[in-house]
Amino acid sequence: MKKLILQKGLLFVFTILVISTINANAAEELLKVDKTLIIQIVIFIAAIFILNSLLFKPLLQLVERREQLTTGRIKEAKELERKVEQIIKEYKEKLDEVRAKAMEERNEIRRQAQAAAEEMIAKAHSETQALLEEAKAKLELEAREIRAKIKPEIEILARNMASQVLGREL
């Protein structure tokens, strides 16, 4: 539609220019100031207004629109870049938090394992102490029983040895 209007405007301007130059008879008459000069000035001003409305304004609007789109795209790209940087920052923060939490959990598990190991060692130590005490008590009891059994025999042996040494019976 705009092309058609532009073509019609250019055709009109060209037609008026051709008509104005046909009337000029000689080169010296073109330089004279007369009614054709006024017609040419009017045609020139009309051509400027027509070209301005049909060619220059749409062209400038197109250039301005392209610049706005380009500027808009640049702003959009910068905004996206800022969002990406923010997302990366949040990701790194969350990753650091998760790592710290994992480290805390790992340390807690180690502490629990160490406490359990110490508890098992203490339990084993107490069990061995109990077994050792029980074994000592058992040995002590057996030693008493053996002493009690051999005490009469020791007295008999001691008398026999004394009577042999002294040479008489006691």
pLDDT in tens, 87-109: 999 999 999 999 999 999 999 99
Residue 10: predicted pLDDT:
67
Residue type at 120 in one-letter notation: M
- Enter the tokens of residue 153: 């025999």
Higher pLDDT, 84 or 37: 84
Judged against a pLDDT cut of 90, whether residue 56 lies above it is answered with no
Cα–Cα distance for residue pair 39/16, rounded to 1 Å: 9
Residue 19: predicted pLDDT:
66
Query: pLDDT (tens digit, 9 = 90+) per residue, 6-50?
Result: 667 667 766 776 666 655 544 455 556 677 778 888 999 998 889
Element (H, E) at 117: helix 57-166
Residue 166: predicted pLDDT:
78
Cα–Cα distance for residue pair 100/151, rounded to 1 Å: 74
Distances (CA, A) of 6 to 42, 45, 59, 122, 154: 19, 16, 12, 102, 146
Distances (CA, A) of 51 to 60, 146, 169: 12, 137, 163
Q: Which residues contact 16 (CB under 8 A, 6 or more apart)?
A: 43, 46
Mean pLDDT of the chain: 83
Higher pLDDT, 77 or 161: 77
How deeply is 40 buried, as exposed, middle or buried, from its count of CB atoms within 10 A (0-12, 13-18, 19+)? middle
